[in-house]
């Protein structure tokens, strides 16, 4: 069930802004999740996001990299089996979700 990984142009910049070791871990996580990026409630690896605190990210999922303090937010485009990376950022409060909602 592999999905093709596609990056929002600003998400590519987010990735390039990480140091080498962080980027390596983030890419490995994205690669793993792309094998089954569906939300966990559908048997996949992703954690579904919804509408919280006035930020509507319904249809998006996240990958939490707790040790790095980084979240990856992605949107599934099921018809083309595309996992579109929207944002890669530090887990600072709701900031990562604000960024994602602006990019979606």
How far, in Å, CA of 98 to CA of 103, rounded?
Answer: 9
Of 102 and 92, the structure prediction assigns the larger pLDDT to: 102
Do 65 and 71 contact (CB within 8 A), yes or no?
yes
Q: 4 pLDDT exceeds 90? A: yes
Residue-wise pLDDT tens digits, 67-91: 999 999 999 998 999 999 999 998 7
Q: Which residues contact 103 (CB under 8 A, 6 or more apart)?
A: 8, 10, 11, 86, 87
* pLDDT at residue number 97: 86
CATH number at 64 reads: 3.30.2310.20
Count up the domains in the chain and report the number.
Answer: 1
How far, in Å, CA of 75 to CA of 67, rounded?
Answer: 23
Full residue range of the structural domain in which residue 71 is found: 4-103
Residue-wise pLDDT tens digits, 38-47: 999 999 999 9
């Amino acid at each position: 069930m592999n999905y093709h990984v596609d990056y929002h142009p600003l998400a590519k910049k987010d990735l390039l802004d990480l140091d080498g070791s962080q980027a390596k871990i983030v890419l490995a996580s994205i690669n793993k999740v792309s094998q089954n990026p569906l939300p966990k409630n559908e048997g996949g690896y992703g954690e579904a996001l919804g509408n919280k605190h006035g930020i509507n990210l319904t249809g998006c999922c996240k990958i939490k990299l707790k040790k790095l303090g980084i979240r990856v937010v992605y949107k599934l485009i099921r018809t083309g089996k595309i996992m579109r990376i929207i944002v890669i950022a530090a887990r600072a409060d709701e900031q990562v979700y604000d960024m994602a909602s602006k990019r979606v």
